[in-house]
Amino acid sequence: MKQYRDEGIVVGGHKLGEADRIVLILTRNHGLVRAVAKGIRRTKSRFGSRLEPFMLVDVQCHVGRSLDVVTQVELIEPFARAIGADYSTYSAANVMAETCTRLTEAEPRSRAQYLLLVSAIRSLCRGEHPPRLALDAYLLRAMAVAGWAPSLWNCAQCGEPGPHRAFSPALGGAVCSACRQHGTALPTTETVLHLAALLSGDWARAEATAPHHAAEASRLVTLYVQWHLERHVKSFTVLENA
């Protein structure tokens, strides 16, 4: 009987049958794991709430034919408690989890994405930065880890030294006037500098940005993520209503 043990953060799941649940856990060493937690929806489940979304756990699984089976769970950090206490925080965390799932579902190993997500969720729980800023910073860095770092200075197409005003998610970020396509967004310089501050972790500059520039940057981040994932991130809908 082959088993493995790893630490991971629960990023999703859905009901299975009358009492079971399929959980998605992004682990440190085994990538994105899909496993069955048997009987978890029963009142007397020995796993209880330890496999709720955003819980950081030490989990043991038995390798199955199509889905692994959770055999033991120990709680490391109960992130879900703090996240569920604030709607804006909860909305941001859901976008993080869904985006991370999309980025890692085809990756056999995702340690960098795992560490980035845990760090971002922990920061959300502690309230270190406004939720939307924390989310935008996470999304930009997650895309960079996945190999899709946006160009925010030189032209993403021809390499012409910047700064450049136009920004195209399809072309990879900032583009010069010669490479700019019809309908390309024209954010302000302050907006682009805000994106650069989020990507580099310059929180003093990011938090000093005027709200309208930060909002414009958030729209660009959303477009950039969804373009490169080639699908709609459903959690963004919830975020827009936060």
135 CB neighbour count, 10 Å cutoff? 29
**Higher-scoring residue by pLDDT: 92, 230:** 92
- Helix or strand (DSSP H, E) at 66: none
Domain match, 90 and 76 both: no
Whole-prediction pTM? 0.92
Q: Which of 62, 81, 100 is the last residue of a domain?
A: 81
233 three-class SS: coil
Per-residue model confidence (pLDDT) at position 117: 97
Q: What are 100-135's pLDDT values in tens digits?
A: 999 998 777 789 999 999 999 999 999 999 999 999
Q: 48-57, 136-145, 188-197, 203-212 — which is least confidently predicted?
A: 48-57
Both 129 and 29 in a single domain? Answer: no
Domain count, the chain: 2
CA 126, 130, 135, 138 torsion: positive or negative?
A: negative
Q: Which of 66, 81, 96 is where one domain is finished? A: 81
34 shares its domain with 142? no
On whether both 19 and 58 belong to a single domain, the answer is yes
Whole domain around residue 175: which residue ranges?
85-240
92 and 193 both lie in a single domain: yes
Any idea what the CATH number is for the domain that residue 104 is in?
1.20.1440.120
Q: Which residues of 159-192 are buried (b: 16+ CB within 10 A; e: fewer)?
A: eeebebbbbbbebbbbbbeebbeeebeebeeebb
Whether residue 140 is found in the same domain as residue 183:
yes
Top pLDDT among 237 and 10 is at 10
CA 120 to mean position of chain CA atoms: 8
pLDDT tens digit string along 42-60? 766 666 778 889 999 999 9
Residues 118 and 69 both lie in one domain: no
